[in-house]
Amino acid sequence: MLRKVWRYYTQPYHRKLLPISVGVGVYFYLLLQRYHPFAIFPEIREAKDIQGFVDWVMSVLTYRPLLTFLGLWTLFGFLLFFWLFFFAQFTLPVHGWKERKGIFLRLWYYAIGMHGPALFVQDGHVIENKGERFKKGPGVIVLDSASAAVLKNEANFTRAVGPGVVFTAAGETIPKGAAIDLRKRSKSLGPYPDEDPFAPQGADEKDEAYRERQQRRWETSGKTQDGTEVVARLLVVFALDKHPDDIPETVYQQQKFRTDFNGHGVSAWRAIAHRPIEAEKDAGSHLEDRLLSWHWLPARLAADLWREYLQLFKLSDLFSEVRDGQSALDIINAAVKERLTSPTYPEMVRDGRLTGQRLTSREYALLQARGIRVITFLITGVFLPPAVEEGLISRWVANWKARAEREREVVEQKRLLAKKRGESAAAEMWGSLIADDVCQQAASDGLSAAECLERLLYALSHAIQTDPLLYQAQQPEFNSLKMLWAWAHDFAHEQQPSEEQV
């Protein structure tokens, strides 16, 4: 008994109760000294020293043994009952009379050695003493705000429980792997980012490490339409479904299937009670050893869909535009995500062509039956055989050179066009400057600035053209003058008034 009391106070959650217990004990001792509750025995008040108290005890045991025995046991029982009820209020965060009664009864069972499992579930992991979950009496489970669990007795699963304090019946406990983390989870399949799945076994690589690396390779290995092996690294983000699709909204709002943990009750039950079995393990082994974890399914479904869509495309399509500015990898990523997150999906055939029909997603239905909802899916990496990768790089270099030459030709054409436009703009600007500066005096003679400029340019070009030596030496300048004169001629005639205006 003393050992159980000592173990109770040495637990981390009960250490603060030790000074309270000592204080309560001192209080009752002082109360006994002041008011003498055994006033029905006048001898106790007359006892002035220890010898007198001993004489009183002997007289009581001699003349009233049965009354003394019953009184002492009644007092002990009352104090034990009071202390258990008092400390039960501080042991767990209980609310209401029903929960207070439950924790008091569990402490009473603990005191007499008939208690069941006392478990704590944190982040989906069960924290317990050795052999705690195998105790058969009524017990208690404390789950944090991110945890849920499904309870089981010797025959079958009984119920799903959520965060808070849960009182279990006799024989109820949390079986192996039946605790769930309610938060979002992510699962990756495929090679690690910094490893080469196609590399042969290294000299310093152990056989076990090599087998594990190859196992990660075959998890997501698939083949394209032209027979090339492609290995991907896949990432799936999912969580326990808060609102399964097969529960009507009216029923969901009435909280008929909701529990204290925000709609996770049905999904938690499905996730644990509908878990698949790993058939590769020995069929004679224990059932709990063969059961797969509830979060095993989403990543495996994503890997199967990745292989299914990969074989619709050629290797060259994976990194080139196929449809609507998207490469085959982008199309596969979107298609797998829709199959996992939507009840229907568009049918896709060879080379990524869409038929226009929508089919029912079997993968989404399987996830619903397991109480799981996928949030997103990503292809985070692609690995190719070394020979294939080198061929892609060489073809990319050749294509890049051809594209660079075509782009250089386009740039050169744009440069020449810009040069012509600049020359025309410069000629117009120069003509305007000459017309403003040289031909201002011609305005008094009735000539416009444009007509003056036209005559000046005509005279200069005619002088150069009539002199063979000057024309040969100044041919570029003559071409410029000729272009300016044509512009000035057109401009001068545009500014002349018509006969109707005159």
CATH code: domain of residue 371? 3.30.479.30
Closest CA to 376 of 348, 346, 340: 340
The whole-angstrom separation of Cα 364 and Cα 373 is: 8
pLDDT at residue number 497: 46
Do 195 and 176 lie in one domain? The reply is no
Taking only the tens place, the pLDDT of each residue in 265-313 is 888 889 998 888 877 776 666 667 778 888 899 999 999 999 999 999 9
On whether the CB atoms of residues 302 and 189 are closer than 8 A, the answer is yes
Do 152 and 244 lie in one domain? The reply is no
On whether the CB atoms of residues 148 and 163 are closer than 8 A, the answer is yes
Q: Quote the Cα angle for 438-439-445, to 5°.
A: 145
Task: State which residues form the domain around 426.
Answer: 409-495
pLDDT at residue number 40: 45
Both tokens of residue 57?
């005890």
- Max mean pLDDT among 81-85, 322-326, 391-395 falls in 322-326
Which residue's structure tokens are 């005159």? Answer: 502
pLDDT at residue number 70: 62
* Range of weakest confidence among 145-149, 177-181, 230-234, 493-497: 493-497
Average confidence (pLDDT) over 11-21: 64
The whole-angstrom separation of Cα 369 and Cα 274 is: 8
Do 304 and 445 lie in one domain? The reply is no
On whether the CB atoms of residues 164 and 140 are closer than 8 A, the answer is no
Which residue's structure tokens are 């790089």? Answer: 393
- Find the helix packing angle between 297-310 and 362-369, rounded to 10°: 180
Give the residues across from 180 on adjacent strands: 148
Last residue of a domain, one of 157, 182, 207: 182
b/e map 350-372, b = 16+ CB within 10 Å = eebeeeeeeeebebbebbbebbb
Stronger pLDDT, 79 or 485, i.e. the higher one: 79
Do 311 and 204 lie in one domain? The reply is yes
Do 344 and 470 lie in one domain? The reply is no
SS3 360: strand
The whole-angstrom separation of Cα 77 and Cα 69 is: 12
Average confidence (pLDDT) over 213-227: 93
Average confidence (pLDDT) over 105-130: 81
Q: Is 47 exposed, middle or buried (0-12, 13-18, 19+ CB in 10 A)?
A: middle
What is the distance between the terminal CA atoms of the chain, rounded to a whole angstrom?
A: 131
pLDDT at residue number 131: 75
Domain presence at residue 443:
yes
H or E element: which one contains 265?
helix 265-273
- What mean pLDDT value characterizes the chain? 77
Last residue of a domain, one of 124, 156, 182: 182
Stronger pLDDT, 63 or 463, i.e. the higher one: 463
Question: Please, how many CA atoms are within 13 Å of residue 249, restricted to the half-sphere of its CB?
Answer: 0
Do 299 and 237 lie in one domain? The reply is yes
Do 261 and 361 lie in one domain? The reply is yes
Do 277 and 145 lie in one domain? The reply is no
The two counts, helices (H) then strands (E), for the chain are 17, 15
- State the Cα torsion 124-125-129-131 to the nearest 10°: 90
Domain presence at residue 211:
yes
Do 136 and 168 lie in one domain? The reply is yes
Do 132 and 197 lie in one domain? The reply is no
Total domains in the fold of the chain: 3
Do 354 and 449 lie in one domain? The reply is no
The whole-angstrom separation of Cα 497 and Cα 269 is: 96
Taking only the tens place, the pLDDT of each residue in 463-476 is 666 656 555 555 56
The phi and psi torsions of 95 (rounded to 5 degrees) equal -135, 135
Residue 331 has pLDDT above 90, yes or no: yes
On whether the CB atoms of residues 318 and 392 are closer than 8 A, the answer is no
Domain presence at residue 455:
yes
